[in-house]
Amino acid sequence: MLRDTLNRPVKDLRISVTDRCNFRCTYCMPFDEYEWIEKKEILSFEEIERLARLFIPLGVDKIRLTGGEPLLRKDLDKLVARLTALTGLRDLCLTTNASHLAEMAAPLKAAGLTRINVSLDTLDAEKFKRMTGRGDLAAVLEGLSVAQRIGLLPIKINAVIERGVNDNEILDLVEFSRQNGFAIRFIEYMDVGNANQWQSGRMVSKKEILEVIQTRYSLRLTGRDQESAPSVDFELTDGSGDIGVIASVTEPFCFGCTRARLTADGKLVTCLFSNDGHDLKTLMRSAATDEDLLEVILAIWTRRADRYSEERLEAMHSRKGYEPRAHKKIEMIRLGG
């Protein structure tokens, strides 16, 4: 089996289908100096399917569609249908802000999608607008409700917690998820991209998040779903729900990272914090054969040594400290979450 320099296989492929987004989440969106990918540079569905097909025999059995906002990609259900038809793919998932989920849930389900992750950081409509720049909470809640009604399940909620912004809503978010039968994953605020004003003090740690939850709920640790899963999971001991925390900053999990990312313009990226990707699109468009592409992918993964979050933590604990802006990174909307 294919392994990188730290003996990690490639198992998950995160495909960004567009870098466009209708939201402007302050923790994600670059506001200055971002050049949108030109339309002609965006991978076609045929090209995405071809790459997905090549990755499966290398070990990938799980694909996540992301972005930008993936539901802004026209006819996304047609891509879903192509991917669910691939032999060897165990799991296809979509991460979305759910603003267009109400109208897209049924076609996506019909195309074979079974489950979704929805990003939702606050239940306060005014704050929602502020955090997302322009989002409408009611549309997201409607999207969730339609998805649930038609059985696009299970639904997981992703909530990034930022100190002084929505850290007072942790219990409300647990309660909302519990009552609606959603699992919830809290995400430590990360220094993705180059434009968010990340400071370690604005990140609420896994330890703090759990302390807040335990003031009201009793938790039992169930652990990571698989060794490579980012989330450490817990169940409420009364059986009424599941929560998880993705502690990328305080408890990094690079040791088990089996994730490869494909940008909307066909760059293969081996870490969320990479400063560059490997251009597969140009190869594909210059008549490379499947064997040529495989050779390139194998060489990239075999040389992979990424462990950015572990290095960040080491730097945070060092005398010099960690300087988030010293390292140029690809923007989150380009390479997907």
Residues that bind ligand SAM (CB under 6 A): 21, 27-28, 66-67, 69, 95-97, 119, 158, 160, 187, 189-190, 192, 196, 332-333, 336-337
Shortest Cβ 178–ligand SF4 spacing (Å): 24
Task: Give which of ligand SAM, ligand SF4, none residue 190 binds (C-beta under 5 to 8 Å, depending on kind).
Answer: ligand SAM
Applying CB under 6 A, the span of 22-30, 49-57, 218-226, 282-290 interacting with ligand SF4 comes to: 22-30
Q: Is 62 helix (H, G, I), strand (E, B) or coil?
A: strand
Q: Which residues pair with 160 in a beta bridge?
A: 187
Residue 100 lies near ligand SF4 (rule: CB under 6 A): no
**What part of residues 62-81 is at the interface with ligand SF4 (CB under 6 A)?**
67-69
- Which of 143/241 has CB closer to ligand SAM? 143
Residue 297 lies near ligand SF4 (rule: CB under 6 A): no
Residue 162 lies near ligand SF4 (rule: CB under 6 A): no
d(CA 336, CA 19): 8
Closest CA to 61 of 41, 86, 40: 86
Task: Give which of ligand SAM, ligand SF4, none residue 43 binds (C-beta under 5 to 8 Å, depending on kind).
Answer: none
Helix pair 137-150, 125-132: axis angle to 10 deg: 100
Task: Give which of ligand SF4, ligand SAM, none residue 187 binds (C-beta under 5 to 8 Å, depending on kind).
Answer: ligand SAM
Q: How are strands ordered across the β-sheet holding 278-279?
A: 219-223, 231-236, 242-246, 183-188, 155-161, 115-119, 91-96, 62-66, 12-16, 259-262, 267-269, 278-279
Applying CB under 6 A, the span of 202-210, 284-292, 301-309, 320-328 interacting with ligand SF4 comes to: 301-309
- Which of 159/284 has CB closer to ligand SF4? 159
The residue from 307, 329, 330, 331 that contacts ligand SF4 (CB under 6 A) is 307
Shortest Cβ 135–ligand SAM spacing (Å): 10
Q: Is 219 helix (H, G, I), strand (E, B) or coil?
A: strand
Which residues, in sequence order, are CB contacts of 290 under 8 Å at separation 6+? Answer: 50, 54
Beta strands in the chain (DSSP E): 12-16, 62-66, 91-96, 115-119, 155-161, 183-188, 219-223, 231-236, 242-246, 259-262, 267-269, 278-279
Contact map string, positions 197 to 236, toward ligand SF4, x by CB under 6 A: ----------------------------------------
Q: Count the site residues for ligand SF4 by CB under 6 A.
A: 25
The residue from 13, 28, 94, 213 that contacts ligand SF4 (CB under 6 A) is 28
Which residues, in sequence order, are CB contacts of 114 under 8 Å at separation 6+? Answer: 92, 152, 153
Backbone φ and ψ for 183, nearest 5 degrees, come out as -80, 150
From residue 77, alpha-carbon distances to 20, 94, 149, 334 in Å are 17, 11, 18, 21
* Most distant CA atoms of the chain, gap in Å: 60
- Which of 65/297 has CB closer to ligand SAM? 65
Residue 262 lies near ligand SF4 (rule: CB under 6 A): no
Closest CA to 88 of 48, 127, 56: 56
Task: Give which of ligand SAM, ligand SF4, none residue 259 binds (C-beta under 5 to 8 Å, depending on kind).
Answer: ligand SF4
The tokens for 322 are 């960690």
Residue type for position 222: T
Residues that bind ligand SF4 in the complex, under the rule CB under 6 A: 21, 23-25, 28-29, 67-69, 97, 119, 252-254, 257, 259, 271-273, 306-309, 332-333
